[in-house]
Amino acid sequence: MADGHAKPNHDYHLVDPSPWPLIGSVSAFVSAVGAVAWMKSMPLFGVQMGAYVFGAGMLGVLYTMAGWWIDVVREAESGFHTRVVQIHHRYGMILFIASEIMFFVAWFWAFFDASLFYNEVGQYARVEATGGIWPPKGLEVFDPWHLPLLNTIILLTSGTTVTWAHHALLTGDREGVKKGLIFTIILGALFSFVQVYEYMHAPFVFKNSIYGATFFMATGFHGFHVFVGTIFLGVCLLRVYKGHFTPKQHLGFEFAAWYWHFVDVVWLFLFVAIYVWGNWGAPVAAH
């Protein structure tokens, strides 16, 4: 029986018992409790320590992610990711990206709800918050053809370089893979730098403004995804230098490329909907 389990005659992977689901669940629960206590200024056991509890939970989540993914990489390099296993991994990644699409749909929905129905009265008194126009009266906005356009060019270019790296991997050109990934990571970091600079010079703030709230939530979460995607690609680059990935088996790289293209597409929608259409007719900040 032991020999049969060690050398399976099927294409499925029977994973070893793992502590990560339990550790991840407990850590996520702790971080959620800490976040609620922190935002609501609620004492835990008589002490204001919500921020510390949240931080401890997030450290546990990050530890779980690192440990679990290291195990997955080890399984891939050990030959456990057969053709059948790879198919199901692809299904999982597709479902994950679908959930991310719905996540961003929520922020687009919030922005369009506020921008299309800015003159409503009654329970929400939105006309009082916007002055009956959109963008709200007295608000200065970003020039979409300045930093936002620059970031659009940067991100679209990064989509080209990651495709270059993917094609190089398929043809066995490992130097091309390294160069493509390095350029993509640099462009991703540059995008994040430009967005941070843009936020630092924003002519509006998050609070007390429905425009600011919807703008920062949509673009901010996208920026967070760019940051995560840059780390994802950095791990792929490290694995390339360690000799991982082959033209026929490179799911980790493939998923990173999928994720990066998803980030590209979301940004195009953000640029058109929020920066161009959503700012139409408003005074542009002079900087």
Mean pLDDT of the chain: 90
Query: Which of 80, 105, 126 is the last residue in one of the domains?
Result: 80
- For the stretch 58-80, pLDDT in tens is 999 999 999 999 999 999 888 88
Which residue segment(s) compose the domain that 125 sits in? 84-287
Give the type of residue at 165. A
Rounded to whole angstroms, the Cα distance separating 70 from 219 reads 31
Average pLDDT over residues 220-248: 95
In the listed set 34, 65, 80, which residue is the last one of a domain according to the structure? 80
Answer yes or no: do 258 and 155 share one domain.
Answer: yes
* Least confident stretch, 62-66, 147-151, 247-251: 247-251
Look at residue 21 and tell me whether its pLDDT is greater than 60: yes
pTM score, two decimals?
0.88
- CATH number for 56: 1.10.287.70
Are the beta carbons of 158 and 262 closer than 8 angstroms? Answer: no
CATH number at residue 204: 1.20.120.80
C-alpha–C-alpha distance, residues 234 and 240, integer Å: 10
Quote the tokens at residue 212: 């600011």
The answer on 161 and 242 residing in a single domain is: yes
Let me know: does 267 contact 181? Beta carbons within 8 Å. Answer: no
Total domain count, the chain: 2
Query: 246 and 164: one domain?
Result: yes
Nearest to 258 by CA among 171, 162, 153: 162
115: CB partners within 8 A, 6+ apart? 134, 135, 214, 278
3-state DSSP assignment of residue 208 = coil
